[in-house]
Each structure stands twice: as C-alpha cells, then as structure tokens.
Amino acid sequence: MRPLAVFLLACAAALAVSGCTNGNGRGNGGGHEVPARRLLILSLDGLAWDLAKQKMAEGKLPALAALASRGAVATGGSLSCYPAKTAPAHATLWTGCWADRHQVLGNETPRLPRGSHTILEQRPGFDAEALLAEPLWRTAAREGRSVTVVQATHADPANEDELGLHSLQIFSGYHAPVGAALVTGPAFSADERTFLIEPGGDGVDISCSPVRVHLPPATWVAIDHPAVRGVFYVYLAKLDATGWAVLRSSYSAVAAPTAGEAERFRKEVGGYAYNAQKVEPSLLDGTAWKREAYLAATRLNALQVKKAVLWALREHPAEITMAYLPQPDAVLHELLGKAEVWADREARATIDEVLAICDGLAGDLVEAMGPGGSIALVSDHGMAPVDHVFYPNLVLERAGLLTRNGAGGIDLGHTQVLFSQSGDFIVVNTVDHRGGCVPISEREAWLALAEKEIVKAAEAALGSGALRPPVRPGSDAGGVAVSAQGDSWFSSACDGVLLYAVLSPDLPAKAAPVVRQIDPVGYHSGDPRIERLAAMMIFAGPGFRHAEAVGVRHVDFAPTVLQWLGVEPPAGTAGRALEQFLETK
C-alpha cells in the first residue's frame, strides 16, 4: 500500500507527461484529442456568498479572489431554490429549472406518483432517477459534446437516460457510502472483514489478510482490500500510553461507465473519502487532537477530489469536467453559529482553515487547467446561524390535524395535514395520496387552518415575523417556483444575522414545547431570497468576460454553460444565459 503523497505525485507526473492542453491526450471515451476549449465546474457545498466576500476581502481566499478579479461574478450572490438545500439546489443548477419542474424537493423527496405512495414515503433527493428535468451533461452529450462527471449530485452512470451517450463519462462515489468512524479499540470491521490494530514502531500496524500497513502518526494511508467494496483511508490521530485513536474514512464502491473504468479509478485514484470528517459524536468538541484529525480529514476530502479531477483531465479529457466537494457545508453546520453568535475564536479559526483548504483545491485545479482552460465555481446555497428549533408537526397535533399511532408514529387514517420529511412544506393528506383520508373538496379548508395554526404558534413562541409568509404553488415567490407536491411551503425568517428557527419535521413527545433552544449552529433551508442563503457563482477563463451582475439565479447556470458550449438548453428551461458574462465570438 502506498501513502497518498505517492499517488498524488504519480497522478501529477502523468498529467504533466500527457499535457492536458497540448491536444495529444486521450479523449473522453479513449482516443480523442484534448478539446481546444475546456470548462471545469467545481461545486463547493455550502459556501455562502456573504462569507466568501468577507474572507476574500480579508485575504484568506486568494485563489477565489484571483478568479473573481479576472472573471464574471454574481456580485449579489446567486439565488438558490426553494428549499435552499443541497439536493434541490444542485438539481436547479444542473437543469436550469425550478423545483416545480425537476421535482427534487429536499435531500429527501416524495415518492411519485402520489396515488401509489403515502405522504410519509420518500426517496433520496440525490438520486438520478429523482431528477425529472434534463441535466446539462445529458443535454451536452446529446449534441455530441464531451462531458466527464468526476462527481456530481444526480449523476449516475447506470441511469438509463445516460446510457448510449458515448461522449459522456460519469463517475460517482455516492453509491451506498459507509460513514467514517473513530476507532479506539484493537479492531474494526469493513464490509464484514476484521482489521486488527497493533502497536508497531512509531505508530500502529493495521492488518487483515492479505493486507498489512504501517500507520505512522498524522499520516493518511490507503487500504485497498480485495474484499472491501472501496478504498478507504486510515489516520493515526492519537497515540499515547492510554492507547490510540484511528480515524477511518468513509468509503463506497466507485460507480463508473464500465467495470474496467471502475477498477482503473480504484487503482489510480483510490476512493472518494466522501465526508471523511463526519463522525458521531463530532470531532469538533474542543479537543485539540480531534480538531487536527477533522482538518486532516478535510484535507483528505479535497486531495481525493483533486486526484480524481487530475485523473479525469488526463484519462477522459472533455469540454466540460464536473466535480464536487462536500465542504465547507459540514464545518459551517457545526461551527458557524458558535463563530458568529458566541464569537468563539477557535470556531472562527477552524472555519478559516477549512475555507483555506477549499481555496487551495480551487487554486490547484485552476493551475491544472492552464491558461487555456476555464472554470465555473459555484455553491448550492448559503448558510446562517440559528439557535432554536420549531416543531410544526407538534403544532398540527395540538390543533387536531395530526394523530399518532400506538407506536408514536403518524396515524395516516386520522391525520389531515403533515409537515413533510421531504421538504419545507405541509401537505394535506387528500385521497389522491395512497392512504389519504381528506376529500379533495375539503383540501383548502384544512390547508388554511394548518397555515394559521403554524404561524400563530411560531409567533407566540419566537416573536412576530418568525416565519416568512407561506408560499403556495403558483403564487408569487419572487420568481422562484415551488412544486405542487407541497401544498404550502414554509420558511424561517431571518433578522439579518440569525434565522429564527430550524423547522424540524420531527414529532417530539406530546408534552414537549413547540420551540426548543439549542446551541447555535449553521443552517440553511427554506426561502432562498433570504440574503444569507445566497450562493456563489464565478466564471473565469476563455469565453467569459470580466464582469459583474446582480439578479443572478441558479436556473441561469445551466443555460450559461450550455451557451458557452454552443448548445441550446432544453425547451421549458426557466433560466436564461447570462449574456453579460459571455464573450461574443
């Protein structure tokens, strides 16, 4: 087994030899020349535009600042979607459609058609099959333009709509990921294989026949066991007289266009190590060595994205290459509230270090693209601190609109209205849903009553204006369309700094308060028109002007990329190409 540094050097050396910009590399499907114009799309999950502006002004994001200084920038940020969550926001970026078209309503989204499913049934909002509008990679590939997806939400090489598009290569690390873990005992398991940990020299030895690796302190080492579905990484975070703590990264099988490509990716890149720092309980508990492990895991995430992109640029050079990093979303969820509400210096410092890692990745990839390459740097949503949780379903229960069953769950036969697990909406349990009990003719009356009770309870517990006015499908929501799968959409308001509350679909004990105070955290969801939920959008390189614009929306991203590529967007796309960002030919 070789350390990550060896893999990275090999990847970088091969990239230099192949010459990503010299027109002599292998093509997207093998055998094609490197395209003359290339665009790298990089999504940095959760990077709020207001935070990015602040850190660029402080000199803490030099790569992003350099891109902004020469590129096209959404100076007011980019308007995300309703709700401003990762899966629907990326669906909006990729398709140029609002949620009423693409029907991804949350990180979990309702199962359709409604006549075959109850209001409780949901599916992952990240699945390719959940996306009901055409993503830009499919539109481009239908026109014979080359696209390599290193990793993106809703991209799956096995999706039947992508099969047969030979200029499209999709890789994914989202398939059935196994979460990271902090190991303090003598063994851990991976895919039912037991890995033993024993003291050895300056660190520990980890073994499971036929693999044995030495793990020195503060170093990531890859483990590629033939019986484990994916490559994972281990890091010796602590070693003293009391024992050790080994951080094992997340892992998953790499989905690829062919079994051969999956094996090549595994051998030459390794695994994605997606969210390698997310363990329970959190590593960010004030312990110094845990904080260092968290930062090391964040560097691993960025390094694996970098390696995957470098590999794709060499092995599958394309007109568009797409990649994704699950940071800074994770650290902002944990620490933004502490940094802003409590003025916690360590929280601020940790956020700055994670942002520097993200910035370093962007800078490295810009360098890899070279002067002939372009880049689109985006985020899915912003983030704001919050220190209360509000439970709409508890309000609905007390108003007689929701009933529990004997096990404490939802009794569908006696529940008229539910605040859904699938998004920030209430849904009336009408008879056109499987198991529904409300006649269609009574839908409006139940809906109006539920809206009234939720707003009244929120304002009584949190103050006047705690919720933004509910948004009905088809109503004016500042140009943002919401899906009719939700009967009425709710969002916490913001006082300019804090959101009033997390709107939780949980159903706590009957005697619990409808509002609970929590330690401050970072949160995003609901109405994207809240300034702090604005996302980032920057284009730079050949084909893009140095320009600034306000009023930019996520639905404008895909049409802009497609016009840069010379491809018409699909009919019905809600967005428009940002002409002020594009050079005229």
- What is the secondary structure of 106-140 as a DSSP string? SSEEE-S-GGGS-TT-EEETT-GGG--S--HHHHH
> Do 417 and 446 contact (CB within 8 A), yes or no?
yes
User: What's the confidence (pLDDT) of residue 29?
Assistant: 54
Residue type, 525: S
Angstrom distances, CA of residue 368 to CA of 245, 262, 266, 281, 362? 36, 23, 21, 37, 10
> Do 339 and 43 contact (CB within 8 A), yes or no?
no
- The residues facing 377 across adjacent strands are 42, 538
DSSP designation for 531:
G
Mark whether 415 and 477 lie in a shared domain.
yes
- 181-183 and 243-248: which strand pairing? antiparallel
Residues with Cβ < 8 Å from 111, sequence gap 6 or more? Answer: 117, 121, 122, 123
* Residue reference for tokens 């210096």: 345
Task: Look up residue 179 and give its two tokens.
Answer: 């979460």
- 220-223 and 232-240: which strand pairing? antiparallel
- 537-540 and 72-74: which strand pairing? antiparallel
Mark whether 511 and 566 lie in a shared domain.
no
177 upstream amide cis, omega within 30 of 0: no
* pTM confidence score: 0.93
User: What's the confidence (pLDDT) of residue 320?
Assistant: 98
Mark whether 314 and 417 lie in a shared domain.
no
Residues with Cβ < 8 Å from 406, sequence gap 6 or more? Answer: none
Q: Tell me the residue range of the domain where 446 lies.
A: 388-523
- The residues facing 212 across adjacent strands are 207
- The residues facing 73 across adjacent strands are 538, 548
User: What's the confidence (pLDDT) of residue 15?
Assistant: 39
Mark whether 568 and 464 lie in a shared domain.
no
Say if 160 falls within a structural domain: no
328 upstream amide cis, omega within 30 of 0: yes
User: What's the confidence (pLDDT) of residue 4?
Assistant: 41
DSSP designation for 413:
G
> What phi and psi values does residue 30 have, to the nearest 5 degrees?
100, 125
- The residues facing 108 across adjacent strands are 124
> Which H or E element spans position 558?
helix 557-565
In Å, how far from its chain's centre is CA 154? 11
DSSP designation for 441:
G
Cβ burial of 213 (10 Å; 0-12, 13-18, 19+) is buried
Mark whether 455 and 572 lie in a shared domain.
no
**Three-state DSSP class for 403?**
coil
Mark whether 542 and 476 lie in a shared domain.
no
Mark whether 337 and 466 lie in a shared domain.
no
> Do 320 and 140 contact (CB within 8 A), yes or no?
yes
Task: Look up residue 84 and give its two tokens.
Answer: 């401003």
Say if 261 falls within a structural domain: no
Domain boundary, last residue among 505, 523, 541: 523
Say if 314 falls within a structural domain: yes
* Residue reference for tokens 């602590």: 238
Mark whether 440 and 470 lie in a shared domain.
yes
513 upstream amide cis, omega within 30 of 0: no
Say if 411 falls within a structural domain: yes
In sequence order, what E strands does 130-210 have? 147-149, 168-170, 181-183, 187-190, 193-200, 203-208
Q: How many CB atoms lie within 10 A of CB 185?
A: 10
Mark whether 362 and 438 lie in a shared domain.
no
Say if 215 falls within a structural domain: no
Task: Look up residue 496 and give its two tokens.
Answer: 């300019």
Residue type, 455: V
Mark whether 52 and 66 lie in a shared domain.
yes
User: What's the confidence (pLDDT) of residue 28?
Assistant: 66
* Residue reference for tokens 């349990």: 429
Mark whether 372 and 406 lie in a shared domain.
no
User: What's the confidence (pLDDT) of residue 8?
Assistant: 38
Tens digit of pLDDT per residue, the chain (585 long)? 444 443 334 444 443 433 343 333 334 655 457 899 999 999 999 999 999 999 999 999 999 999 999 999 999 999 999 999 999 999 999 999 999 999 999 999 999 999 999 999 999 999 999 999 999 999 999 999 999 999 999 999 999 999 999 999 999 987 788 999 999 999 999 999 999 999 999 999 999 999 999 999 999 999 999 999 999 999 999 999 999 999 999 999 999 999 999 999 999 999 999 889 999 999 999 999 999 999 999 999 999 999 999 999 999 999 999 999 999 999 999 999 999 999 999 999 999 999 999 999 999 999 999 999 999 999 999 999 999 999 999 999 999 999 999 999 999 999 999 999 998 999 999 999 999 999 999 999 999 999 999 999 999 999 999 999 999 998 877 889 999 999 999 999 999 999 999 999 999 999 999 999 999 999 999 999 999 999 999 999 999 999 999 999 999 999 999 999 999 999 999 999 999 999 986
Angstrom distances, CA of residue 535 to CA of 196, 424, 472? 44, 19, 24
In Å, how far from its chain's centre is CA 427? 26
CATH of the domain at 31: 3.40.720.10
User: What's the confidence (pLDDT) of residue 585?
Assistant: 67
Q: How many CB atoms lie within 10 A of CB 363?
A: 16
Say if 256 falls within a structural domain: no
Q: What's the rounded Cα separation, in Å, for the pair 106 and 96?
A: 17
Distinct helix (H) and strand (E) counts, the chain: 13, 26
Say if 176 falls within a structural domain: no
429-446: b (≥16 Cβ within 10 Å) or e? bbeebbebebeeeebeeb
Residue type, 138: R
Q: Which of 314, 290, 64 is nearest to 306 (CA)?
A: 314
> Do 313 and 269 contact (CB within 8 A), yes or no?
no
Q: What angle do CA 225, 231, 234 make, to 5 degrees?
A: 90
Q: Which of 499, 413, 513, 398 is nearest to 453 (CA)?
A: 398
Mark whether 137 and 28 lie in a shared domain.
yes
Say if 505 falls within a structural domain: yes
Total domains present in the chain:
2
DSSP designation for 172:
B
* Residue reference for tokens 């997606």: 274
**Three-state DSSP class for 325?**
strand
